[in-house]
Amino acid sequence: MRTMNDSSESTVEAVARRARDASRVLARLSGDRRNEVLTAAARSIEANRKEILQANERDCVAAERSLSAGGITRSMLARLRLNDRAIDEMALRVRDVANLSDPLGRRLSTTELDKGLVLHKESCPLGVIGIIFESRPEVIPQVTALCLKTGNAVILKGGIEAAATNQSLASVLQESLRQFREIPVSAIELLQTRSDVGELLALERDVDLIVPRGSKELVEFVKQRSRIPVLGHGEGICHVYVDGAADIRKAIDITLDSKTQYPAACNAAETLLVHETMVRGFLPQAVMALKNAGVELRGCPRTIALVGTDAVGRASEEDWAKEYSDLILSVKIVATLEEAIAHIQRYGSGHTEVIVTEDAGTAKRFMEEIDAAGVFHNASTRFADGFRYGLGAELGISTSKLHARGPVGLEGLTTYKYKLYGSGETVAEYASGKKKFKHRKVD
């Protein structure tokens, strides 16, 4: 266990307690003050560019050695390596977050319970956020900016292969806090060893939310171990359903974009469902367009019978439940809208589901009945993204239904409290009938 602070105690418990104390200070900072902190952080990243890149070079040298020994993969190494442009990008992203409107102190509702007794439901910080991530060191400035903007303290735990880079980045960010004398440096904490993770996940009293960022395996590991609520990226098994009343041009464009625009993304489509009346008009054209784009197809028996084994392989039961994250698409012909919906409910991951149709009634049924974070009518699955949605920032995409669903921006790092302002009111006066509630909604 190493932390970046000069405080004496360095158990994970002590780290979390210090973060909790810091969170109370952050909770009372004004929005302007929080933005000053972010601006200082961005400047600090730029000013310490050399130190950060040197630390990164040490990680890369070690990683290359590990690469030849088979310890890490070439793509992990690529994600690890920083350069001047990456540093600029980090600082830019932090400034972008500073420019977003203040997520705190928003009045979600105001009710006048009675004359002089007013209730506000108001957004406020969660408190302490734990972020567990792999490889990419740019996660540090990015999530630290999101946490500080929302008045939360952050405890970071990165991958061991980026240890020097992470340490350098966390130090730079902590140093930038020192000019704000009221803010404890422990608003940003870094953990470095794997065993710290297990300890962190048990500290339900001092940590309010855990955000795992990385592979499906990491997210699963964290979810299973954590006693703290977890806000996790889910799997993305997204479908495009081409209805009998689809416009063929739109159907082909949407299918291609959903699969090929960035196949590694969680919002890429994995399965194409085609209504049986579209097997002549749409299917052959779609197959040709997909093949031209380099997509491997795996079809149901009817698809194979129609298109031929040259163009389409056989989809196994596992294919329907698989997130390929690659240029592979499974294809199934369905007889009815109900069959399409049933297939999606069975195999979908609740991420994003698309219907292509010109029939408003069919679209409505799909949009109501499909239980997913995103239901799209005549648009690509790839629009499911915090920036495209206009949230201005994205912490991740949640396939959980509670707290935050779909692309999660700053709001996912806040909660709310009820503030009641009175002038000595007691419940006894209302229980006795002496006074009566008005419950007037003010907004």
Nearer Cβ to a second copy (22/169): 22
- Tell me if 300 sits within 8 A of 331, measured CB to CB: yes
Nearer Cβ to a second copy (112/175): 112
- Tell me if 260 sits within 8 A of 229, measured CB to CB: no
Report in angstroms how near the CB of residue 299 gets to a second copy at its nearest.
23
Report in angstroms how near the CB of residue 14 gets to a second copy at its nearest.
16
Q: Which of 391, 69, 37 is nearest to 187 (CA)?
A: 37
Nearer Cβ to a second copy (69/427): 427
Sign of CA dihedral 14, 20, 22, 24: negative
Nearer Cβ to a second copy (64/253): 253
Nearer Cβ to a second copy (343/405): 405
Distance of CA 387 to the CA centre of its chain: 11
- Cα–Cα–Cα angle for 5, 10, 12, rounded to 5 degrees: 110
- The CA dihedral of 226, 227, 232, 234, to the nearest 10 degrees, is 80
Q: Please tell me the distance from the alpha carbon of residue 93 to that of residue 392, in angstroms, as a whole number.
A: 10
Report in angstroms how near the CB of residue 36 gets to a second copy at its nearest.
18
Nearer Cβ to a second copy (48/349): 349
Residue identified by tokens 């093949």 is 291
Report in angstroms how near the CB of residue 208 gets to a second copy at its nearest.
6
The residues that touch a second copy, with contacts defined as CB under 8 A, are 24, 27-28, 111, 113, 117, 119, 124, 126-127, 208-209, 229, 247, 249-250, 253-254, 256-257, 261-262, 345, 365, 367-369, 371-380, 382-384, 388-390, 400-403, 405-407, 415-428, 430-431, 437, 439, 441
Contacts of 59 (CB under 8 A, 6+ apart): 80, 161, 162, 163, 164, 165
Nearer Cβ to a second copy (159/366): 366
Report in angstroms how near the CB of residue 382 gets to a second copy at its nearest.
4
Q: Please tell me the distance from the alpha carbon of residue 225 to that of residue 403, in angstroms, as a whole number.
A: 20
Q: How many CB atoms lie within 10 A of CB 122?
A: 17
Nearer Cβ to a second copy (253/326): 253
Nearer Cβ to a second copy (53/230): 230
Report in angstroms how near the CB of residue 11 gets to a second copy at its nearest.
19
Report in angstroms how near the CB of residue 443 gets to a second copy at its nearest.
13
Report in angstroms how near the CB of residue 371 gets to a second copy at its nearest.
6
CA distances from 13 to 125, 180, 209, 222, 284 (A): 21, 25, 15, 18, 61
- Tell me if 241 sits within 8 A of 271, measured CB to CB: no
Report in angstroms how near the CB of residue 383 gets to a second copy at its nearest.
6
Q: Which two tokens stand for residue 36?
A: 């000053």
Tell me the DSSP string of 38-60. Answer: HHHHHHHHHHTHHHHHHHHHHHH
